[in-house]
Amino acid sequence: MSVQALAGVIFYVCITGLQNTVGESIAFGKNAKQSTTYRENDASHALNRTFSYTGSVTGPVISPWWEVDLRGYFRISIITLTAGKFYINMRNASVEVMDKDVSLCSDVQSEWCGNVSSTATAREEFTFTCNATFPVRFVRVTRRSTNYTYLAIGHVDVQGIGATKRYRSHYTPTANGKVSIPFLTTSAVTAGACGILCHKSHSCIDFSYSTTASTEANCMLTDKVVPQNSSGHNHWTMYTLASCL
């Protein structure tokens, strides 16, 4: 079967968490986005302690939100939000966890974790215990309002361990693409077999497969969210995990 014919391949597998992440934020380096962005205060800044004082800031909208895709499924233990210099705009924000992307999916499971105090001050930390009974992939912070307002977050820390979940997973293929920083280069008979290897390694988030590369190095797995290399790789296809499943 050709790689092109595998564009709609769906894998049914069981993921088992292999790595205990307590002590290290499982959100660091993952994909963050927000409703809008104010100046240079990008959503990703809330995941990097270097920017913990300025953090991420949305533009003024009704009920602004911030979200991180953990690119895998986890049992969340605690989530800690730290207020930055724009602490007023983190007051009363709510924290929740979800199994799917609420902007794409209609059957999302969600669990409310808690609210930030209405008297939050700069550098104050708020720690929430989440009791979701389902494996979590997304963490969302929302400042619900009926008028235009900002949401500012100094830093977000998410603690948890890899979850076991039987689920349907679809990878979106991109022709001529190759992961930039593979943590494992191995062999696979088909792109589907390469995808199963990605699933079995809990840290894997995307993979690339080639029909012409050496049979010992035709499957590459990555755990890094970085720009993917799409030039000069005519016989490679990159597969990215879809969000709504």
User: Is residue 5 very low, low, confident or very high in pLDDT (cuts 50, 70, 90)?
Assistant: very low
Q: Name the band, by pLDDT with cuts 50, 70 and 90, for residue 226.
A: low
> Domain-by-domain residue ranges, the chain?
4-15+166-241, 31-163
Is the separation of the CB atoms in 175 and 7 below 8 Å?
no
Compare 197 and 91 and report the one with higher pLDDT.
Answer: 91
Handedness of CA 63, 69, 74, 79 (dihedral sign): negative
Asked if the domains at 4-15+166-241 and 31-163 fall in one CATH topology, the answer is no
CA of 184: how far to CAs of 39, 73, 81, in Å?
38, 20, 33
How many angstroms separate the CA atoms of 43 and 199, rounded? 27
Q: Are 57 and 106 in contact (CB under 8 A)?
A: no
CA distances to 106, 129, 202, 205 from 98, rounded to whole Å, are 12, 14, 18, 18
Q: Which fold has domain 4-15+166-241?
A: Hepatocyte Growth Factor (3.50.4)
Residue 6 in this model has a pLDDT that exceeds 50: no
Q: How many residues does the chain have?
A: 245
The answer to whether the CB of 239 falls within 8 A of the CB of 191 is yes
Q: Stretch 14-35: mean pLDDT, rounded? A: 66
Q: What is the pTM of this model?
A: 0.70
DSSP state of 44: G
Q: Decide if pLDDT at 171 tops 70.
A: yes
> E strand or H helix at 191, and its extent?
helix 191-200
Question: Above 60 in pLDDT, residue 233?
Answer: yes
**C-alpha–C-alpha distance, residues 9 and 215, integer Å:** 21
Band of pLDDT at residue 223, cut at 50, 70 and 90:
confident
Contacts of 1 by beta carbon, 8 Å cutoff, 6+ apart: 190, 192
Say what the pLDDT of residue 9 is.
Answer: 39
Q: Higher model confidence: residue 125 or residue 4?
A: 125
The pLDDT value given to residue 8: 38
Q: What is the pLDDT of residues 88-119, one digit of tens each?
A: 999 999 999 998 888 777 778 899 999 999 99
Distance CA 190, CA 173 (A): 14
CATH number of the 31-163 domain = 2.60.120.260
Could you say which DSSP state residue 20 is in? B
